[in-house]
Chain A
Amino acid sequence: GAGVSQSPRYKVTKRGQDVALRCDPISGHVSLYWYRQALGQGPEFLTYFNYEAQQDKSGLPNDRFSAERPEGSISTLTIQRTEQRDSAMYRCASSLEAGYYEQYFGPGTRLTVT
């Protein structure tokens, strides 16, 4: 596809379950970013990768959150033992290269923890 894709688009899970959110960046894009966006607020940085290397994970809220990009393309954000406060829109973005480049955002995964 031409843009960033994310799956699933909607995920409802029960508290305590693990979830895995997938991001498929634009083909050839080196950098991949994960954000969390609460309703009415701006995206909040979680982590990012250049190729397969995780460059910065300072935004991950706690050790229940992890991300990987093993082959430098598709990335997975995993949340273990979900809590209600994890409910949010999780957005992925990619950019052509590291540095001063625009980021292309995907449609997001709406996570609801009941």
Chain B
Amino acid sequence: GQQVMQIPQYQHVQEGEDFTTYCNSSTTLSNIQWYKQRPGGHPVFLIQLVKSGEVKKQKRLTFQFGEAKKNSSLHITATQTTDVGTYFCAYRGYNTDKLIFGTGTRLQVFP
């Protein structure tokens, strides 16, 4: 499976600022999932998107799946120190359940 690229690789923000990470694929994806991994921890599932143009919100987090289903974004409004970690997008290929993870975006939040 083709790896999806995430940008930026790193992001340092002041607490209270917004943050966005982008996940880009050169091919159409059937679905996209987002995971958060705290430093020293394991990946934790956040959400799954499957429909073209889908937007889902979880409190301060907004997830989007592009119209062409080739890209996705995660936006965090008013970051908090608890948002620190690495955010990965991942997709499941057609006719398989294996997950292919993106390169990840590491977020650091300064108080």
Contacts and interface: CB of A to CB of B under 8 A. Distances in A.
Interface of A: 31, 33, 40-45, 48, 50, 55-56, 58-59, 91, 93, 95, 98-100, 102-108
B97 A99 contact: yes
Contacts of A44: 101
B48 A100 contact: yes
Nearest to B90: A42
A42 B90 CA distance: 9
Contacts of A100: 31, 48, 50, 92
A102 B42 contact: no
A-B CB proximity, top 10 nearest: A42-B101, A102-B45, A105-B42, A45-B98, A105-B43, A42-B88, A42-B104, A43-B101, A98-B97, A56-B98
Nearest to A98: B97
Contacts of B64: none
B68 interface: no
Nearest to B106: A40
A101 B83 CA distance: 24
A91 B42 contact: yes
B98 A33 contact: yes
Interface string B23-64: 000000001010000000011110010100000000000000
Interface in B85-111: 88, 90, 92, 96-104, 106
A45 B100 contact: yes
